[in-house]
Every structure is written in C-alpha cells, then in structure tokens.
C-alpha cells in the first residue's frame, strides 16, 4: 500500500460545552487566536504536510465554519480597489481550491471514533490523517509534516505523543510502550483516560495517521470509555491484530485550545510570536506580572 497521505479528516462535530455560552452560536473552531480561527491553524498545518483533500465532519450549528471557506469575492474586490494589498494577500492565503473540501455530517455526537468513521465513504484503501483543531501546535516543521515523514519510514498507524506528568495521564489516551527508539516508539497497547496505573507518561494528542484497517475496526466498535465510540479503541485493536502502531514524540509546543486555560496560553504564545504585537503585548504582560507580584 502507498504511504502517500493526501487526505485529512477534521472532526468538528463536538458540542464544545467547555466554551459555553460562546459555543451556543459560534463553532469552537471559529474562535480566534490573535486574528486567525483555530480551523485556519489546522488547515495551514495540513497543507504544509502535503494534504490535498480536507474532509470536515460537522454537525448542526456549524454553518459559520462552512461559510468561512467561501471565497469572499466582494471583500476581495473592495480591498483591491482601495489598494490594501497586504490585507488582500492575507485573505487570499485562506482560499481553498474548489472541490478540495468535503463535508460529512455526524448526526449525533457519539464520540471521536464515530466522527472519524462518518468519513469512511470518502476514503479508498489509503492512509488518512486526522487533525483535531483543538490541539494547536507551534512547531517547525509543523507536527503533521513530522509525522508524515516518520510514517514514510514506518508505515502502520501513527499517533502524535508527548510526555505528561503522571497525574495528568487520566485526561489522555496513553501508550503502553513495547520499544522506545527515541523519537519513535512502538506501542503494545493504548488506554483511553486511565483512572489509575497509566502504562506510561506518553499521552496521545490530536494528530493521527490511520491505516485503512482502523476504519474496519471502527465498523465493529461499540461504545467505550464515557459511553463514546473511541478512536483509541480502534487503534488499540490494530495492535491486538498484530499490526504496527507507533507514537511520534513530535518537536513543538502543543496548546489544548479545547480548554479555557490552554486557549489563553495559546493566545499569549501566538501574540508574542507576532512581530507587530510582541513589544506592546510583551510590555503589557510584564506589567501585569509585576503588579501581581507587588500584590502578593
């Protein structure tokens, strides 16, 4: 089977309850870090990794997300007329080719595994990337590109992984490591949100490259941890069946933008990374910190 990865699934059908009331009317993926919606960071990362087809698994109330990918012709011609070429460039960089995006619907939020399964008819016998837009990653080369390069060596199924303190493992899928080869580990098991005795400190975060057999496993899956159909279970079934599952310790910083604290941290990091903001914003943060210290 070819190891070329040209399709990516973006599951965006979750309810986003941690951001209520905002998510009552705005899809979480449209919320912005500085001036770009979360979805744009995910798309840019996928494009940099060579992805050509983008499959969104959406749900009710995600209209603003679909609209975001329309070309803004009126806005473009008004910017052109007024000579605002820098803004025009920013806008045009977000344009996607006609037919590059497909939307499938998940009718009920039955879990990440179920959301990925909803895209099955758009895939042939080929590997597919899965990108969770909640996980925004600062890294060079971008995380998915690192994974695709590693996957070209290993094949199998690959997940992005990072070390977390033991007390945090209960919030993640955790790898049971059979062989540690440095940047890449081979897994002998995977446990979703272990309540106790995590098999390692290697947490799985929201980037995956799935072998086609993972979709077959999802066909058979029943509800797992938390009553949801878990992608972790379908990947663990690969190992059970004697097929390879690898974790990549990616280089970069990951922000959990599905949580409020993670979103705020990302806002600070991406704000400070912008040339036009770093001085003013950096000074402001320094002032806040010194006022905080003085008040202690």
Q: Closer to ligand UTP at the Cβ: 57 or 211?
A: 57
State yes or no: residue 64 binds ligand UTP (CB under 6 A). Answer: no
Contact 177, 186 (CB under 8 A): yes
CA 249 to CA 100: how far, in whole Å?
Answer: 30
DSSP-assigned letters across all residues of 43-95? HHHHHHTT--EEEEEE-TT-HHHHHHTS--HHHHHHHHHTT-HHHHHHHHHT-
Q: Does the footprint of ligand UTP cover residue 258 (CB under 6 A)?
A: yes
Q: Kindly tell me which of 115 and 211 has the beta carbon lying closer to ligand UTP.
A: 115
Report in angstroms how near the CB of residue 160 gets to ligand UTP at its nearest: 14
Task: Decide whether 40 or 133 has the Cβ nearer to ligand UTP.
Answer: 133
Least spacing, CB of residue 116 vs ligand UTP, in Å: 8
From CA 291, how far away is CA 286, in angstroms rounded? 9
The residues in 15-34 that bind ligand UTP, with binding defined as CB under 6 A, are 15-18
Member of 134, 192, 237, 238 binding ligand UTP (CB under 6 A): 134
131 binds ligand UTP (CB under 6 A): no
Distance, in Å, from the CA atom of 272 to the CA atom of 288, rounded to the nearest integer, reads 15
The length of the chain is 296
Q: Is 131 helix (H, G, I), strand (E, B) or coil?
A: strand
Residue from 8, 12, 39, 119 binding ligand UTP (CB under 6 A):
12
d(CA 16, CA 240): 32
Q: Which residue is nearest to ligand UTP (CB)?
A: 14
Out of 5, 8, 14, 175, the residue judged to bind ligand UTP by CB under 6 A: 14
Residues lying near ligand UTP in the complex (CB under 6 A) are found at 11-18, 57, 106, 109-112, 114-115, 132-134, 258
């Amino acid at each position: 089977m070819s190891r070329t990865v040209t399709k990516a699934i973006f599951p965006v059908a979750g309810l986003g309850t941690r951001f209520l009331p905002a998510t009552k009317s705005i899809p979480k993926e449209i919320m912005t870090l500085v001036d770009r919606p979360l979805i744009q960071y995910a798309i840019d990362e996928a494009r940099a990794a060579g992805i050509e087809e983008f499959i969104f698994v959406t749900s009710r109330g995600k209209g603003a997300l679909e609209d975001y990918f329309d070309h803004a012709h009126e806005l473009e011609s008004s910017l052109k007329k007024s000579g605002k070429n820098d803004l025009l460039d920013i806008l045009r960089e977000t344009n996607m080719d006609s037919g590059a995006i497909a939307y499938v619907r998940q009718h009920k939020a039955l879990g990440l595994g179920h959301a990925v399964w909803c895209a099955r008819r758009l895939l042939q016998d080929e590997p597919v990337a899965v990108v969770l837009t909640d996980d925004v990653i600062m890294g060079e080369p971008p995380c998915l590109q690192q994974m695709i390069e590693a996957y070209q060596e290993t094949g199998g199924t690959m997940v992005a992984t990072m070390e977390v303190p033991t007390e945090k493992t209960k919030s993640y899928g955790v790898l049971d490591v059979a062989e540690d080869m440095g940047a890449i580990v081979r897994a002998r098991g995977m446990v979703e949100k272990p309540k106790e005795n995590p098999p390692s400190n290697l947490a799985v975060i929201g980037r995956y490259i799935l072998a086609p057999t993972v979709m077959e496993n999802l066909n058979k899956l029943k509800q797992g941890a938390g009553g949801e159909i878990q992608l972790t279970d379908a990947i663990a079934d690969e190992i059970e069946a004697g097929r390879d599952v690898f974790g990549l310790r990616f280089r970069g910083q990951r922000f959990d933008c599905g949580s409020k604290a993670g979103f705020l941290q990302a806002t600070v990091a991406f704000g400070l990374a912008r040339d036009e903001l770093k001085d003013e914003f950096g000074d402001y943060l320094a002032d806040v910190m010194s006022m905080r210290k003085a008040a202690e």
